[in-house]
Chain A
Amino acid sequence: DQQVKQNSPSLSVQEGRISILNCDYTNSMFDYFLWYKKYPAEGPTFLISISSIKDKNEDGRFTVFLNKSAKHLSLHIVPSQPGDSAVYFCAAKGGNYQLIWGAGTKLIIKP
């Protein structure tokens, strides 16, 4: 049973528009969430994170929103650029030393 779900395997967005990637979780004890980005033939790289005491965190073009009551978080990328084409993973702090990862969403930015 997956505790962190990214229900969209892929998403296609026009360059310059907003990209919204979604992530749902089932465990209300999760208290920290992270987004990682992965290009082909490379390892994931950290993008942005949010603590459960916040509902929003912003870093440049990237904003993560957390809705605890819905157990839902989303990553907004504005404006989307061709270099944003990658697989995006959502992860939740599942214990002191472990992250629980979603299956990933492949984002394709169309020129």
Chain B
Amino acid sequence: EAQVTQNPRYLITVTGKKLTVTCSQNMNHEYMSWYRQDPGLGLRQIYYSMNVEATDKGDVPEGYKVSRKEKRNFPLILESPSPNQTSLYFCASSFGGAIINEQFFGPGTRLTVL
């Protein structure tokens, strides 16, 4: 089944404790992206990747890191999480490099930073 998977689905952590949210897709998509969703703000892009070893900042990259060593995986790293990073996070992927191509989203990771 074609899908985007994220782990963990739920995470409660404390300020400053490094964490990684994994994202994997099995559709051989070139483009992958991370978003955060906050009430009243819709989805805001954190980072995106056009292909392996090609990443770039989105609208809200501060406090986050990503890597794209393999085509299928695009982990999101929070080196020192803070309470303002409490949010719902989505990973997405799409075929080719055109942003207008349909994006396939993972189920989301709800992160709480205390």
B90 adjacent to A43 (CB under 8 Å): yes
Neighbour of A46 across the interface among B40, B103, B107, CB < 8 A:
B103
| B94 closest partner in A (C-beta) | A46
List B contacts of A32 (CB < 8 A): 100
- Number of chain A residues whose Cβ lies closer than 8 Å to a Cβ of chain B: 24
Chain A neighbourhood of B100, CB < 8 A: 32, 34, 49, 93
Bound CA–CA A76/B56 (angstroms): 35
Considering the chains assembled together, what is the distance between the CA atoms of A99 and B99 in angstroms? 7
Known: A49-B100, A93-B99, A98-B59. A42 touches B107 (CB 8 A): yes
Across the interface, which residues of B come within 8 angstroms of A103, CB to CB?
Answer: 40-42
Distance (whole angstroms) from the CB of A6 to the closest CB of chain B: 8
Taking Cβ atoms with an 8 Å cutoff, the residues of A that contact B are 2, 4, 6, 32, 34, 41-46, 49, 89, 91, 93, 95-99, 101-104
